[in-house]
Amino acid sequence: MLCNKKETANVKKRIKRLAWILLAGFLVIIFRLWYLQLIKGNQFRDRAKSNRIRLIHINAQRGRIYDRYKNILVKNVRSFNVLAVPNEIKDIDATVKLLSETLGLEQAFITRKLCNLSHKGYSAIKLASNISLEKVTLIEERSSLLPGIFIQIEPRRKYILGESAAYITGHVRQIRKGEIEKKQYHIFQYNEFKGEGGVEEAFDNLLKGSDGGKQIEVNSRGEQVALLVEKKPERGSNIILAIDKHMQEFVSKLLEDKTGTIIVMDPQNGDILAMAGSPSYDPDIFNAPVLQTDLDALEKKDAPLLNRAVSALYAPGSIFKILMVGAGLKHNVVTYNQKLECEGHLKIGKDILYCWDRAGHGSMNMSDAIRDSCDVYFYRLGLKLGIDRIADFADACGLGKLTGIKLPGEKSGLLPDKNWRKKRPWYSGDTALLSIGQSYLLVTPIQLVSLISAVANGGIIYRPRILSQTQPEQIGKLPCSKETIRQIKKALCEVVSDKGTGKFAQVKGLEIAGKTSTVQVVKMRHISKYKDIPYKFRDHAMFVAFAPVKNPQIALVVIVEHGGEGGKVAAPIAKQIFKWYIKNRNGKS
């Protein structure tokens, strides 16, 4: 009983002690609140009014892009950018006017950026990129008149070859208004950059790295007073392309003042050594905020943003005769030495189809027909084969389907057959025209260079390879025997001979095999002189070739839109590429 009374007394003492401790704690808190609110209140209110929280996005450095010899194609350089925090701007009109005078930007553009309701007021908005040091100085000198405006140094892409390699590199651009909400852009934030076109888009996940950011406290003058949170950016991965930088520069110059494309491939593994197109564009223009007027001006230059190498569609013309030879020999409807008659035309039903040489070529075997590109020979061969066998053979050769090159925007082309034609029957005349690469048949330049490369290497169809860090990939095989391929090569050598349509591609000491093509755009019945034909209706000039014939190291396609005859326009361009290759790369791995 006595023990219970002692325990009760001890518990009461402990409770009493705890109560005094709690009371003391409350008194300290009350005193502190009184001190902060009454004694220091005015000071903190002034500080709260003058200080602001600023969120700054920090773009990561994208990975570098190298060519096959480790020459730099795309790198990062320092860029002085002008950013604005809308909530910190006290007088929008005065700020817009002063910025317009300082930066040389239209007031409407600046106003639109600052008043964009999709931006968070405390987040920085980019107004200008890569401004000069002179303008940086002006902004800093006028900082008291420009609250909410500041300079930030960020990485900017520098494209070493500029327009010469735009088809390959593509460009980067800032995410546009409204894209953040779209599903395909959900991983991006405003002020981030994404790859668009070329390898910048194809390998964006490798190149872009991880952006960073920081939350800072600034005073009324925009000066940082505290760093609250920071996440450092992580640099993207470097990539090495199969492209040969110096060949790319050379090939691109060959298309100056022309519209068209050139692709150079290693036929032994599918490596894309060069891929040029014209007209092109300067990828650097997308580093800064791009006005719609700038894009409109670009589009007036005959679609420079279109990668003609993989996205443009053309009738292959006489290049398709290579496949016709293979199909004819495969199905035994003709032999290599069998002769067919060309009288300059062929009547099919009620229609008369003409050869390009209205006088006729006379009696021709397969080699003669390929060398002189006789149309009537292939009309006859096509009628013997029939559309089904032609379409099946062309499909096995890779036409009418994607090559799978790792570049955005590739088109599959069109390989028509009886099933494709639904509104009316497929006629014999359709088959005859398709046999010379006309009719409704459409291909891409990348398909043509893949085809001629397969002929060059003995029949293997490789996926065109743009990234050298991946392994060569066989995606098909020409559906014909080695003997048939040997005979095709023999005929293509005749094309680049003194008597052939490709004679202007000849290079002394180098055996070249190739095929010319002059593709009719519009049938002009009432104009006899070529110079009188309007430019947009003139024929496309094409040429595919490879060399050396016995050990092929280089295959190519040259297309000059509205250029005229393939043998006189495209073949001489190919000649210059072969000569450059012999001088600069022959035997170099």
**pLDDT tens figures, 526-562:** 565 666 677 777 889 999 999 999 999 999 999 999 9
pLDDT category at 22 given cuts 50, 70, 90 is confident
**325-344 burial by CB neighbour count: b if 16+ within 10 A, else e?**
bbbbbbbebbebeeebebeb
At 440, the pLDDT band (50, 70, 90 cuts) reads: very high
Rg (CA), the chain: 35
Q: What is the mean pLDDT of the chain?
A: 86
**In the prediction, which pLDDT does 144 show?**
83
The first and second tokens of residue 506, run together, are 């000849």
Cis amide bond preceding 548, omega within 30? yes
For the chain, list the domains and their CATH numbers: 53-240 (3.90.1310.10), 245-287+307-584 (3.40.710.10)
Tens of pLDDT, residue by residue over 299-313, are: 666 778 899 999 999
What percentage of the chain reaches a pLDDT higher than 70?
85
Separation CA 505–CA 581 (nearest Å): 14
Distance of CA 577 to the CA centre of its chain: 23
| pLDDT score of 274 | 98
For the segment 166-190, the average pLDDT, to the nearest whole number, is: 66
Q: Are 227 and 216 in contact (CB under 8 A)?
A: yes
Residue range 109-149, pLDDT digits in tens: 888 888 764 555 567 788 888 888 999 999 888 888 888 88
pLDDT value at residue 103: 87
Q: Are strands 65-66 and 239-240 parallel, antiparallel or unpaired?
A: parallel
Output the pLDDT for position 186: 41
Q: Which contacts (CB < 8 Å, 24+ apart) does range 90-93 have?
A: 90/147, 90/148
pLDDT bucket at 51, cuts 50 / 70 / 90 = low
What local confidence, expressed as pLDDT, does residue 230 receive?
Answer: 82
Q: Look at residue 185 in the predicted model and tell me its pLDDT.
A: 42
Taking Cα atoms as reference points, which of 158, 156, 157, 168 lies closest to residue 249? 168
Question: Is 269 a residue whose pLDDT tops 60?
Answer: yes
**Which helix or strand (DSSP H or E) is residue 465 part of?**
none
Q: What is the mean pLDDT of residues 324-346?
A: 94
How do residues 467-481 score in pLDDT, each as one tens digit?
A: 999 999 999 999 999
Instruction: Give the residue from 575, 577, 578 showing the smallest Cα distance to 567.
Output: 575
- For residue 151, the tally of other CB atoms under 10 A from its CB is 16
Tell me what pLDDT residue 49 has. 46
The confidence score (pLDDT) of residue 221 equals 63
Number of residues in the chain:
589
Other C-beta atoms closer than 10 Å to the C-beta of 398 total 25
Kindly report, residue by residue over 465-515, the tens digit of the pLDDT: 999 999 999 999 999 999 999 999 999 999 999 999 999 999 999 999 999
Q: Say if residue 75's pLDDT is above 60.
A: yes
Please, are residues 249 and 160 in contact by the beta-carbon 8 Å criterion?
Answer: no
C-alpha span between 502 and 516 (Å, rounded): 6
Most confident stretch, 38-47, 282-291, 388-397, 416-425: 388-397
Confidence of residue 183 (pLDDT cuts 50, 70, 90): very low
pLDDT at 2 over 50: no
- Whether pLDDT at 41 is above 70: no
Two structure tokens written together for 66: 């190298």
Find tokens 């291909």 and name the residue: 443
Whether 85 shows a pLDDT value over 80: the answer reads yes
Single out the residue of 488, 562, 452, 577 nearest to residue 518, CA to CA: 562
Does the pLDDT value for residue 259 go beyond 90?
yes
Mean pLDDT of 28-36: 70
Q: Give the confidence band of 178 by pLDDT, cuts at 50, 70, 90.
A: low
More confident position, 521 or 366? 366
For the entire predicted model, the pTM comes to 0.85
Distance CA 485, CA 549 (A): 12
Q: Is the pLDDT of residue 419 over 50?
A: yes
Residue with tokens 């089904």: 388
Confidence of residue 50 (pLDDT cuts 50, 70, 90): very low
State pLDDT tens for residues 443-453: 999 999 999 99
> When comparing pLDDT for 384 and 189, which is higher?
384
